[in-house]
Amino acid sequence: MNMIKNKTTKTIAIAMAVLLLLMSLAGCSKKSLGPPCMTLENETLTVNMFRFYLSRAKGAVAGSVTAAYNDAFWDQIVSEEGLTYNDLYVKLVLDNAKNIISAMYLFDDMGLKLDDATITKVDDNLEELMRNASDGGTKTEFNAVLAGYGVNYEILREIMLIEKKMEVLKDELYGVNASKVSDLLKEKYYEENYVRFKQVFLYTVKKVEETDKDGNVIYYDTTTKEYIYKIDETTKTKIGEDGKVITDKFGNIVYYNEDGTIAYDSEKGKPEYKTDSDGNTLTREMTDEELTKCKEYADRILAIAERGDDFDKLVDLYNEDEGLKEFTNGYYLTESDSYSIDDVKNAVFGMKDGEIKMIKSEYGYHIIKRYELDQGAFNNSVNQAYFENFNDAVVDYLFFIKMDDYKDRIVVGENALKGVDMKSVEPNYYY
């Protein structure tokens, strides 16, 4: 596992998320809100605003990567072209600033306006931010806080107004919730950005089973959750001190083996597993013998899968990943999506449709098959968890393409941006 590559990939994924964040908190101004850094005819984006975007990007990275507080992190080279993290993020934010100013030009060109109710709401929100920024809640105190991010009250107000302008512009172009975007365009975006996979997952840790006072694993009926016992001619009942047959807490008669242990039915029943206070299942490390058997088991399943047997059937029979019981069509991912196991995600994106591969993670063995994309998956309610933000992503995709029409007319003041980079701004977590 290449840790440097994985960290780089994760950080760049954060960068892509930041782009969308900046799109929603964009600002251009016809007022004098600081020295200009770029212009598009009558639209101006100022250096102060650019510093603000950088500070938000730095806050987003530092929230996930603690090393981002240090200049040494930003000086790391992360590309074959010799780009550092600083170079990468400055470029990303600058490119997105061009999207922003292009959008503001289009907003005015289309004759769009914000209504009074929207402006009032922005002002109310800004006043609330000011009250929460300090005990006194004065504009002077608020400006002192904002200065660390390169802005003041007036500039932040402009940024918040543009946030609303961006919403209005996108709704005008693509409809509320992408209602003006055809399914054909959505399908194109889906096919170009998503992968689908299923897996047979085997834990290399053991879940900690619930046991009785004698240390025996308790088995439950899967429907009623009552204790379930193996009853045959060899099992016996016991009489308690009260002279009655011993029963469990559900009122069922308890049956015992000849050696005195409780005759739980391990074939018809299922064990319950212990959890912590947060509801997470407790686990223990496997013994060396258990690990060897697990690897042999995984190898056999992999061989069967590669032989061409029905992979869905293998999932049903052997998979210990509970998620696929809910998501029966498989998992859907884009490269910018977060996934708990980087090695699995990286493997899937490196595979072809129909390819099968086994990955070992810190949790266990993943026998993965990449599936062909199924048409219209984004409209299937079974897959809803993977497509909650799909329409927003499609709109952003189309929006960025449209903004390219205006970028060759943008004038960037290179001198104004000298020394304005990720190392020169404070991480912004709040605005």
pLDDT computed for residue 278 by the predictor: 87
pLDDT computed for residue 424 by the predictor: 92
Low-confidence ranges of the chain (pLDDT < 70): 1-33
Whether the predicted model's global pTM rises above the 0.75 cut: no
Q: Which of 245, 272, 299 is the last residue of a domain?
A: 272
One domain, residues 297 and 362? yes
One domain, residues 99 and 237? no
Distance CA 64, CA 55 (A): 15
pLDDT computed for residue 421 by the predictor: 94
Distance CA 101, CA 411 (A): 11
One domain, residues 402 and 256? no
Instruction: Tell me, yes or no, whether 383 lies in a domain.
Output: no
Q: Are 261 and 216 in contact (CB under 8 A)?
A: yes
- The dihedral of CA 416, 421, 426, 429: what is its sign? positive
Q: Are 197 and 348 in contact (CB under 8 A)?
A: yes
One domain, residues 72 and 174? yes
One domain, residues 36 and 125? yes
pLDDT computed for residue 16 by the predictor: 52
One domain, residues 259 and 406? no
| Overall number of domains in the chain | 3
Instruction: Tell me, yes or no, whether 431 lies in a domain.
Output: no
One domain, residues 290 and 338? yes
Q: Are 339 and 333 in contact (CB under 8 A)?
A: yes
Q: Report the chain's terminal Cα–Cα distance, integer Å.
A: 37
One domain, residues 68 and 130? yes
pLDDT in tens, 146-186: 998 999 999 999 999 988 999 999 999 999 999 999 999 99
Instruction: Tell me, yes or no, whether 350 lies in a domain.
Output: yes
Length of the chain: 431
One domain, residues 237 and 116? no
One domain, residues 265 and 407? no
pLDDT computed for residue 24 by the predictor: 46
pLDDT computed for residue 392 by the predictor: 95
Distance CA 328, CA 196 (A): 11
Distance CA 51, CA 54 (A): 5
| Helix, strand, coil fractions of the chain, as percent rounded to 5 | 50, 15, 35
Which amino acid would we find at residue 47? V
One domain, residues 134 and 214? no
Q: Are 246 and 213 in contact (CB under 8 A)?
A: no
Q: Which of 224, 240, 272 is the last residue of a domain?
A: 272
pLDDT computed for residue 283 by the predictor: 87
Instruction: Tell me, yes or no, whether 378 lies in a domain.
Output: no
Q: Please choose, from the candidates 401, 400, 431, 356, the residue with its C-alpha nearest in 3D space to the C-alpha of residue 149.
A: 431
Instruction: Tell me, yes or no, whether 186 lies in a domain.
Output: no
Instruction: Tell me, yes or no, whether 380 lies in a domain.
Output: no
pLDDT computed for residue 325 by the predictor: 84
Instruction: Tell me, yes or no, whether 399 lies in a domain.
Output: yes
Q: Read off the CATH number of the domain in which 315 is found.
A: 3.10.50.40
Domain that holds residue 218: 209-272
One domain, residues 15 and 163? yes
pLDDT computed for residue 10 by the predictor: 52
Instruction: Tell me, yes or no, whether 280 lies in a domain.
Output: no
DSSP state of 69: G
